[in-house]
Chains A and B, each alone.
Chain A
């Protein structure tokens, strides 16, 4: 049973960076496709990026390219997501989430499977 435990809440000033961690247990991190999703207060889910299993590389949503860095340390079973140049609009709960693929009718269909505990990031001067 995969479990994802995230780091605690953060308060940052505009222009700073934040690095959120996601500790994996129950399955090798190297065999998981890890993604990141955020949710601003009272708003919807926003996909940020992650490892694309069909391409074998990390990808990110256009609006986050150049500002978000996703890394993994398999020795400590931990994934990280760093956001730079923070602004107030980045205030949100950040989730790590595994992506799983199902072979159905000779195609692979991917969906978000196990969600992390969430990390609240507040950006305020």
Chain B
């Protein structure tokens, strides 16, 4: 099975900050990479698929990049509702360990 490694596992940031989360695959997965946001007690919500395609309804401050083994999720200006845990996923299978974004 392909392994997905996210970093950092947690970070503290302030409203308005630019936040970057990375995800690395143990072997090339082309652009078959999704990003999800999960708020406490809720099911995950898709943000980005195909590494860089924004899902309908997701704010444009979210963006994704990368291909092969290295990927990035960027939040250009952190908003209060963005404090949550973020997961990368290879296609419909393995998830990364998650990155918890907390208020500084």
Contacts and interface: CB of A to CB of B under 8 A. Distances in A.
Genuine A/B complex: yes
Interface of A: 33, 35, 37, 44-47, 50, 52, 61-62, 95, 97, 99, 102, 104-105, 107, 109-113, 115-116, 118
A65 B51 CA distance: 28
Given A44-B98, A45-B98, A111 B34 contact: yes
A45 B1 contact: no
Interface in B73-104: 85, 87, 89, 91-98
A118 B91 CA distance: 21
Contacts, number: 66
Given A44-B97, A104-B50, A115-B44, A110 B92 contact: yes
A45 B91 contact: no
Contacts of B43: 95, 97, 115-116, 118
B62 interface: no
Interface string B43-73: 1101001100101000000000000000000
Given A102-B50, A104-B50, A109-B31, A47 B89 contact: yes
8 contacts: A44-B87, A61-B93, A102-B50, A104-B50, A109-B31, A111-B34, A111-B46, A116-B43
Tell me whether chain B's interface is mostly helix, strand or loop, or mixed: loop
Instruction: List the 5 shortest-distance A-B pairs measured between CB atoms, nearest first.
Output: A115-B43, A44-B98, A109-B50, A111-B49, A45-B95
A3 B80 CA distance: 29
B75 to A, nearest CB: 19
A109 B49 contact: yes
Given A104-B50, A112-B44, A112-B46, A46 B32 contact: no
B7 interface: no
Nearest to A48: B93
A112 B89 contact: yes
A114 to B, nearest CB: 9
Contact of A35 (B31, B50, B92, B96): B92
Interface string B14-39: 00000000000000000110101010
